[in-house]
Copies of this chain bind each other. A is one copy, B any other.
């Protein structure tokens, strides 16, 4: 049976849930899962539906229902076939751990992304891409990076320890599509070399943060974070090793939440309909 997901944000009004649910029912859809969040007058909602009829087209029905319910279509995303791999580009520099992890997960089918291209400002990870049979493009200028990503028709761009800052124009172009991993528990240690600074400060935990890329460095809406315990025995090198574990896990979680259509950006923050 065909499934689809509706993710929508609207100014709240009485009857909104009923209008949406009623339109879905009338369109021949059964609600499998619903989650919502109301904040600052906005109502965010994620609904997963399946067509009641065996030959029903859940996406078409969902589109009709969205129009009938009167939701703001600019703030609504409808996705067919939740769980199908999404075309993805990886941007990398020299550190392999996040890219290696995403490629292995994609290959094993444990993360629904289809990595179409690996783009890098260095050539260190060319072999890694080749190992998984993924095209590798070395590009240092931004237009070449964009070309490589768009030629691959990627819908999702993952900055897997990409050590360059995107221009504000590119941040805007890839708004809500590009996910970065920062190797600290933001907002602590914004910027360069967070593990060295964490060691100097003598923290007892380190962290990693995945966020949407925006023009302000390390300030985009946060999707996922995690932390791990460290001690005085961990020198900077050991913090890097332990941190790499966190980074790859947090980045994979964030990518999964994004491609499962579980993340809504609301102002500078996210609503994550995690499960």
Contacts and interface: CB of A to CB of B under 8 A. Distances in A.
Interface in A220-247: 221-227, 231-234, 241, 244-245
Contact of A231 (B36, B204, B227, B274): B274
Contacts of A144: none
Contact of A189 (B30, B97, B187): B187
A108 interface: yes
Interface string A101-140: 1001000101000000000000000000001000000000
Contact of A202 (B22, B110, B222): B222
A205 B225 contact: yes
B36 A17 contact: no
A187 B31 CA distance: 34
Given A31-B36, A35-B36, A226 B202 contact: no
Question: Is the interface on chain A under 10, 10 to 19, 20 to 34, or 35 or more residues?
Answer: 35 or more
Given A22-B18, A97-B108, A222 B201 contact: yes
Interface in A185-206: 185-189, 200-205
A272 B205 contact: no
A38 interface: yes
Nearest to A238: B275
Interface stretch (A70-78, A148-156, A174-182, A263-271): A263-271
Contacts of A245: 249
Contacts of A32: 38
Nearest to A37: B232
A11 interface: no
Given A185-B188, A245-B249, A275-B231, A31 B17 contact: yes
Contacts of A55: none
A104 B233 CA distance: 25
